[in-house]
Amino acid sequence: MDLRARLTRAALARPAVLLATSPGATRERLAVEAELGRRGWPSAAGPASADLLVFAGVPLPLRDDDWAERVWTAVPAPKARVTVTDAEHAAHTLDHGHRTLLTPAAHPAERHETATAAAPDHGPHDSQGSHGGMDHAHHGRPPGTVAGLPLAERAEDRDGLRLDRLHVPLGPALPDWPAGLVLRLELQGDVVRRAEVDPMPTPAASRPAFWSEPWLKALAGEPGTSGEAARRRCAAHLDSLGRFLGVAGWSDAATRARRARDRTLGDAHGEELRPLVHPLVRRVRKSRTLRWLTAGVGELPGGPVAGDAHSRLIGWLDGIEYALDAIGDRTPLADHPLIGPRGRVDDTEAPASRTLLAALPALLAGAEFACARLVVASLDPDLDELAARRAPDGRTHG
Amino acid sequence: MAEPAPPWAALVLPLALALVATALATADARSTGPGREVLRLLVQQRRITRAADVPLVRLATTLLPVAAVLAAAVLPLGFRPVSDLPDGIVWFNAMEALAWAAVWLAGWGPNSTLSLIGGYRFLAQGLAYELPHMLAITTAALGAQSLRVGAVADAQAGLWFAVWMPAAFGIYLLSALAMAFWGPFDQPVGRDTAGGAAAELSGVDRLVFLGGRRLLLVVAAAFSVPLFLGGGHGPLLPGWAWTLIKTAAVLGLLLWVRRRVPTVRTERYMELSWVVLTPLAVAQALVVAVVVLKK
């Protein structure tokens, strides 16, 4: 082994992973996150700091925009990418990606590939960095171009100043972001002027949406206990909590929430979970800084998620503690009202996450970028719920 | 009276700072050790976005560690700084303000929306922290009646400034975190903007920029020692040892704060800073001025 290969091996012993989740791939995402936690591989905040790009679920292009390819070209060499399509094979797939990353033969080709890609050709949407661009094409005629990119036009901002307007798609490959959500933002500075929700189409799934699975099963008449449902609810709220804390910049607490979530899903007893969950819940609940930072953000006057970001957070904390106490419950779930982590689960109404998505544009207009991220994280819509169910016999409904 | 250190100290200074920064990173490491992380970034390709302003990005990344090392020139180890300028406190403040330019240019240069947002955030953060910060360091200078860092440390042979000007000390610690955009003030490079001002930096650029940030944090924390914690004064041990111990204690405190507190958004901090901290800092300066006049 020559020195170069040995250095690369040492440098990339723990590659930084950028995880991009497709809608409907929650199981795969959770498996990958748990495995990354076990291995101690750091998670990258964006493509520029990543070595290994992991897709949970097959990344489908959004209209004509192959976002997965864009993200891939933005990752600096040496790099590797893998797609996890089966939660059970997450560890194996990560090993495979790591091997590819360390294979010296792969590097010259990769280097060449990025060298050309990093120069002009990012595709029509990637004029602005690696997360999507200033997409002016359908917003009037640009006044000029630089390096083939249109310049930003101006408009009055909230204080009446004429400022550049940037059209930025947000998502789908952002850290702590709902899988499959794309927001079309119009930004002035870091203030959102307008937002449109443009969710990726969720592919028809043969399995029910992961977070509402116990309730959907009960609805279909399958047996299940309230204890199992409580476990799923507890994990779902811990997952939302972890993402919210990640967006709020409290990485220490976010890591704890994720660890507790993985243990909850891993069939640990309620007694084992309490020492993990209770101190975390207590600390988050009592944090005055967090209250100061999130109170008044994304206030909704009514509906199932009324209140501001902080009250929704407290709602999760209550839900976590309540669900934790009910994990041992052996009564059949069908005897209880079918209310999943995000709201009522039934056949007739639209899934709860559709209401959450509908609330977004009004809440985001006028918010600063950081607040916009907090609003999205505090609603945490689950786009898996929007998928049409493909029954085993091939029919779709839902 | 502080005597200047020998000329070779200027060469040792960056290495010593890097050593402390590495020790801090080791204490802070959650998964990857700093050595491995440095190696990883050295192996990584440097990439740049389309229509980026490459000279600006390069300037920005190198400016940060340079500013940190230059600011450290007036830092006394024990009682001997590399250069004991008569207006050392002003020098420190000026060098630390170079970070404004560095982070803004790093955000602007890559022609990327998320990194631009990171740049904006740091400017706003600068507006929020700088005023109380300057009042706080002025208060220390006022207490010693000198802008010379060595004289400020000497004035604390008896009583530490942190004891009789606690508000100024607290404000200084907050602004130390803010100027190094670290811990609760890491919004300019926040994860919610996929890394903010550093979002598009990879390889060596990333290493130099984020390494520079750590140096700046170490320097800002170390500067609180001569300003408020009695410099090298202390029983039994030599001055340089006391400086190191006190610096380590301050860094440990900052590390603890980072674990306990989420990221403070600039717009909320701005309110706190201008409505509460600035008047508080003025009141503190007033109290100190009255005490000094009465002596």
Residue A387's nearest CA partner among A2, A23, A19 is: A23
Closest Cα to residue A107, out of A11, A229, A233, A246? A11
Euclidean distance between CA atoms A261 and A3, whole angstroms = 41
How near does any CA of chain A get to the CA of B215, in Å? 20
Encode burial over B144-165: b for 16+ CB neighbours within 10 A, e otherwise.
Answer: bebbbbbbbbbbbeeebbbeeb
pTM for the complete prediction?
Answer: 0.88
Contact A14 B112 (CB under 8 A): no
Residues of B in contact with A193 (CB under 8 A): none
Q: How far is the C-alpha of A13 from the C-alpha of A33, rounded, in Å?
A: 18
The pLDDT confidence band at residue A20, using thresholds 50, 70 and 90, is very high
Compare all CA atoms of chain B with the CA of A39 and give the residue at the minimum distance: B31
For chain B positions 140-199, those within 8 Å of chain A (CB to CB) are 184, 186-187, 190-195, 198-199
Q: How far apart are CA B22 and CA B226, in angstroms?
A: 22
Residues in chain B with CB shorter than 8 Å from the CB of A134 are: 113
Q: Is 1.25.40 the CATH number for A3-118?
A: no
Least confident of A73-87, B19-33, B73-87, B208-222: B19-33
Q: Look at B192 and A120 and tell me if their CB atoms are within 8 Å.
A: no
| ipTM confidence | 0.89
Indicate yes or no: CB of B113 within 8 angstroms of CB of A128: yes
Helix H, strand E, coil C: the string for B228-263 is HCCCCCCCCCCHHHHHHHHHHHHHHHHHHHHHHCCC
| CB within 8 Å: A252 and B259 | yes
The predicted-structure confidence for A86-137, as pLDDT tens digits, reads as follows 989 999 999 999 999 988 654 444 443 333 333 333 333 333 444 443 333 3
With contacts defined as CB-CB under 8 Å, which chain B residues touch A78? 43-45
Chain B interface test: which of A51, A192, A293, A297 (most B C-beta within 10 Å): A293
List the domain boundaries for chain B.
Answer: 9-294
User: Which of A46-55, A297-306, A362-371, B96-105 shows the lowest mean pLDDT across its residues?
Assistant: A297-306
**Residue of B202, B206, B259, B272 to mutate, interface with A, max A Cβ within 10 Å:** B202
Q: Is the pLDDT of residue B194 over 90?
A: no
Say if strands A52-56 and A80-84 run parallel, antiparallel, or are unpaired: parallel
Q: Where are the domains of chain A?
A: 3-118, 210-390
Cβ contact B267–A368 (<8 Å): yes
- Indicate the residue of B112, B191, B262 with minimum beta-carbon distance to A176: B191
Helix (H) or strand (E) holding A167: strand A162-170
- How many contacts (CB atoms, under 8 Å) link A and B? 168
Quick one: which of B181, B54, B210, B69 has its CA closest to B119? B181
pLDDT of residue B2: 52
Nearest to B45 among A76, A149, A252 (CB): A76
